[in-house]
Structure 1
Amino acid sequence: MSNVVIVGVQWGDEGKGKIVDLLARQIDYVVRFQGGNNAGHTVIVDGKKAALHLVPSGILHEGKICLIGNGVVLDPVVFTQELDTLIAQGVDVSPSRLKISGKTHLIMPYHKALDQARENKLEKGQKIGTTGRGIGPCYEDKVARVGVRASDLTDPELLRAKIAAALKEKNVLFTALYGMEPLSVDAVFDEVMAAAPRVVPHLTDVSSDLQQAWKEGKSVLFEGAQGIHLDIDHGTYPFVTSSNTVSGNAAAGCGIGPNRLDRIIGILKAYTTRVGEGPFPTELNDATGDLLRANGGEFGVTTGRPRRCGWQDIVILRESARLNGLTDIALTKLDVLSGFDEIKICVAYDYQGRRMDYPPQESGALERVTPIYESVPGWKEDITACKTWDELPEAARAYVLRLEELSGVPVSMVSVGPDRNQTIFR
């Protein structure tokens, strides 16, 4: 199989973990290239559920090499906890098959404290909806060139000096602005160094590893975390994550050339969801939205927060296709739409009296659009046991074909249930 990039084309939670897990059977390496443990992937294999937050989803396949790239921010404490969980489930997470770039930045205790303090101080309506896991402040320090990198765990003296320098500034914020107690250099150092023996054996040069893999004829899957419309540049700013989630960042986030990215698969949920704050044009604040949430189990893997639910938004999908160069779509959770008499699709927006096929780019404009819907017939049949395209009800097939027509991107996979076997290839 060629090298593949997996991205979510909505606001996250599209089912990327399942598709990564499914394709990993044919892939040699799986690489995570951005985000942190604010993302969660649920993978169900033979009825057993595994929730992954930092470790690439390919870890559940024996013999696959999983890499965490330099574009990721890694909480060393959370990483060790995830290792323990996977070990208890009998998963091989040895350093020979799970590796971390030495350039990966570490989420420190003061990043998490700052993240939570900021969000708590914001008034209602100003809150970003952060998970409070320190991702944003960690990326801030990375860009400010004062961050701690995974390789620093091999040099305790350097690590302590970096912590001391960081707390000179951070403690002023904690005490003067947020009314908190200052953090101790020793306490932060001890907490992070306690995880070092578990992290350091996994350190590697991801860029070199990938170069060697291609020399040996291996294939690579690049695993994105949050959805495209949470991208720091191209998402619904400021209600976004702190990294670039677009497919192009697979190159920067791993240290490889963009010419290595052969196939770009967009993961699209059959309806739309969003967690946290921010505009959501097709959101359903009614019984239909509640039904989608209940039937789809729409609660965050990492946070447990209920997801906001709404109809499919083709405008958002078209923008994702444009930003990522999508080659094809993997459609997930089609089974959740079973039972509806009518299904709506947002085909365009009305914005200030103009019909728009792509999102308006002005700041805050997405909050002021009105969806233009078309309706298609629903279906009553339970489709979770369907194994082939032809077994799907005619209305379900027509819905998928309409999404293709409206977006201009072919649908190559259709998921009709959470298990990896509940997938139809076209």
Structure 2
Amino acid sequence: MVDVILGLQWGDEGKGKIVDYFAPGYDIVARFQGGPNAGHTLYVEGKKVVLHQIPSGIFHQGAENIIGGGVVLDPVILKKECNTVEGFGIDVKKNLFISHRTNLILPTHRALDKASEMQKGEGKIGSTLKGIGPAYMDKTGRNALRVGDLLNKNFTSQYIKLRLKHQRLLDNFNFTEDISTWEDDFFEAVETLRSFKIINGEYYINNKIAAGKKVLAEGAQAAMLDIDFGTYPYVTSSNTISAGVCTGLGIAPQKIEKVLGITKSYCTRVGSGPFPTELENEMGEKLRKIGSEFGATTGRPRRCGWIDLVALKYACMINGVTDVVMTKADVLDSFEHLDLCTSYTINGEETQEVPLQMEKLPLQPNFKTMKGWNVDTTNIKNADTLPEDMKKYIAFMNEYLGAPVKYVSNGPGRDQIITL
């Protein structure tokens, strides 16, 4: 049995905490796509921890954690993350498994990412400059090096061959930055990576499922950043939707049961790209300040706005969402009124569908205004004592989305989550 947790907006919905909350009920937590551009924030022993590549179940000793073949992995960042996790007394090598099909991010991938983004000027897509795009390009171009290649004697010669190809591309960009120190760090981290449990991931996870083990598939980024169905070209380089679980872990669709989709009670976005409900005013600044909306990976201030139910319903549809988790509900505690986008007007026509190229259309969001609850909800433990106006807000979302809000997160703490 496989359940899935993924984001329904443009990322930063609080997936790390939610995976950490549900992880004790599963035998395996598996990342199925993305790379170190992810930033999953958890609070462990009162301390903030941001995981970029290690699955968010790592702090639960009873759960195995798998980095799947759909992930692109930076050995240097993995080594740093392991050091952080081990600082909490966790034996990372005991419960972390890495698929031999996982693609490697090389130093030259990072260089190519930086060079490409610099050349775009005002057309930048807001890359995290972690080498994600170039690594996936090598994957689809059938040039990639994978974790399993580390076990071959000729890995270094394979690396040099790919590096030379990348260098020719960098020369075309007139990229002159010295990356030799990046390479030193890379090969040092590669030696550490070789000491992990490198597995035949698809067989391993399917054998576990056949044995009755419960798997939680953890997504990075979010549905509206999906390479095929997101707000292209302002998207990531992988399939972030539930279908990516099958391609990223090597499991069949019928193995998937629940799909838990996570949304904030409002909307945020980092970097460039369309954002119909963005608030470029004092209200947006208030959301940013109360919600501490700064990127976990980049530190960039997030753009903030009201919840977009049109995009959210679309995300629920393409992911087959069974349960919605609403995070950061407490951020709205002090607002007098709340707006929910229920349709778009494009060229005089009203629609409840997400268009192909949002940023190129004269799109106006249409809102339903609801009364705010003006109650501190951070200490509420059960659904019965939620403010009536919050219950109305959730009920309206349920009716519109056709997928029920089953959980409400009302703070960053592990225990700050309410089951409806």
| TM-score under structure 2 length normalisation | 0.96
Which shifted more, 36-45 or 270-279?
A: 36-45
- Number of residues paired by the alignment? 419
Are the aligned partners of 1:52 and 1:82 in contact in 2 as well (CA < 8 Å)? yes
Partner of 1:318: 313
State yes or no: 1:74 paired with 2:73: yes
Partner of 1:140: 137
Are the aligned partners of 1:174 and 1:182 in contact in 2 as well (CA < 8 Å)? no
Partner of 1:226: 221
Q: 1:119 aligns with which of 94, 97, 117?
A: 117
Separation of aligned partners in 2, 1:301 and 1:181: 26
Within 5 A, what are the aligned runs for 1:106-185? 106-124=104-122, 126-157=123-154, 159-180=155-176
Separation of aligned partners in 1, 2:14 and 2:360: 24
State yes or no: 1:373 paired with 2:355: no
* 1:183/1:389 CA distance change after superposition, 3 Å: closer
Are the aligned partners of 1:280 and 1:367 in contact in 2 as well (CA < 8 Å)? no
Q: Deviations over 1:43-97 (max 9, x none)?
A: 1245232111100000011221000000000000110111011111212212x31
For 1:5, what is the secondary structure of its paired residue?
A: strand
Partner of 2:56: 57
Q: Deviations over 1:144-179 (max 9, x none)?
A: 11111011112242x222222223322222224324
Are the aligned partners of 1:69 and 1:100 in contact in 2 as well (CA < 8 Å)? yes
Q: 1:356 aligns with which of 348, 351, 355?
A: 351
Q: Deviation of residue 121 (structure 1)?
A: 1.7
Letter in 2 for 1:255: G
Separation of aligned partners in 1, 2:358 and 2:415: 41
Q: Deviation of residue 364 (structure 1)?
A: 4.3
Separation of aligned partners in 2, 1:179 and 1:322: 43
The percent of aligned pairs where both chains have the same amino acid is: 44
Separation of aligned partners in 2, 1:195 and 1:60: 22
Q: Deviations over 1:109-146 (max 9, x none)?
A: 0000110111112221x001000000000000011111
Partner of 2:326: 331
Are the aligned partners of 2:115 and 2:173 in contact in 1 as well (CA < 8 Å)? no
Q: Deviations over 1:351-397 (max 9, x none)?
A: 11111111112x34565310000100001110000011111111111
Separation of aligned partners in 2, 1:388 and 1:21: 20
Q: Deviations over 1:383-421 (max 9, x none)?
A: 000011111111111111111111111011011111120
Question: Which of structure 1's runs of 4+ aligned residues deviate more than 4 A?
Answer: 181-184, 187-191, 364-367
Partner of 1:3: 2
Letter in 2 for 1:162: Q
Gaps of 5+ in 2: none
Partner of 1:383: 377
* 1:366/1:4 CA distance change after superposition, 3 Å: farther
Separation of aligned partners in 2, 1:347 and 1:416: 24
Partner of 1:17: 16
Are the aligned partners of 1:281 and 1:367 in contact in 2 as well (CA < 8 Å)? no
Are the aligned partners of 1:163 and 1:188 in contact in 2 as well (CA < 8 Å)? no
For 1:39, what is the secondary structure of its paired residue?
A: coil
Q: Deviation of residue 243 (structure 1)?
A: 0.3
Separation of aligned partners in 2, 1:360 and 1:143: 27
Letter in 2 for 1:240: V
Within 5 A, what are the aligned runs for 1:268-347? 268-347=263-342
Letter in 2 for 1:177: F
Letter in 2 for 1:34: Q
State yes or no: 1:197 paired with 2:191: yes
Separation of aligned partners in 2, 1:277 and 1:349: 20
Q: Deviations over 1:179-206 (max 9, x none)?
A: 426867xx77654332233212221112
For 1:250, what is the secondary structure of its paired residue?
A: helix
Letter in 2 for 1:48: K
State yes or no: 1:412 paired with 2:411: no
* 1:99/1:257 CA distance change after superposition, 3 Å: same
Separation of aligned partners in 2, 1:343 and 1:68: 39
* 1:181/1:415 CA distance change after superposition, 3 Å: closer
Q: Deviations over 1:318-367 (max 9, x none)?
A: 11011101111001000000111100000000011111111112x34565
Gaps of 5+ in 1: none
Which shifted more, 170-179 or 60-69?
A: 170-179
Are the aligned partners of 1:232 and 1:244 in contact in 2 as well (CA < 8 Å)? yes
| TM-score under structure 1 length normalisation | 0.95
Q: Deviations over 1:246-300 (max 9, x none)?
A: 1011011001111111010110100000000000000000000001001001111
Separation of aligned partners in 2, 1:128 and 1:350: 25
* 1:117/1:424 CA distance change after superposition, 3 Å: same
Separation of aligned partners in 1, 2:271 and 2:203: 38
Partner of 2:42: 43
* 1:422/1:182 CA distance change after superposition, 3 Å: closer
CA RMSD, Structure 1 to Structure 2 (Å)? 1.5
* 1:82/1:368 CA distance change after superposition, 3 Å: same
Are the aligned partners of 1:46 and 1:419 in contact in 2 as well (CA < 8 Å)? no
